[in-house]
Amino acid sequence: MKKIRKGSHTATWLTVHLIYVTKYRYKVLKGAVQKRCRSLMIQDCDAMDIRILKGVVSKYQVHLHIEYPSKLSVSEISKQVKRKEF
């Protein structure tokens, strides 16, 4: 069920599907690295008031289907999520 975000003058439901792929599709997101990547994504999304509708961390790519507030742009979200170091 959709949860519409309501502001003083707005009602929005903004979603985006983000995909991050490793360079040359090397299969490096395994084991502890995969778990750490997942936990960092969850922390970043919680900090920015973003709901993860669906997320998958596979061996060489990360899929995120998120719902975000209207005050953030997709480029800001992408920069924030990708900036973390392992």
CATH class of 12-82: alpha beta
**In the chain, where do the E strands start and end?**
5-6, 11-12, 14-21, 51-57, 61-68
What span, in angstroms and rounded, lies between the C-alpha atoms of 78 and 25? 19
Q: Bigger pLDDT: 72 or 5?
A: 72
Where residue 5 falls among pLDDT bands split at 50, 70, 90? Answer: confident
- Whether 67 contacts 32, CB under 8 Å: no
State the DSSP code for 56.
E
Domain residue ranges of the chain, discontinuous segments joined by +: 12-82
Neighbouring-strand partners of residue 70: none
Average pLDDT, the chain: 91
Instruction: Report the pLDDT value the prediction gives residue 54, as an integer from 0 to 100.
Output: 96
Residue 84 has pLDDT above 70, yes or no: no
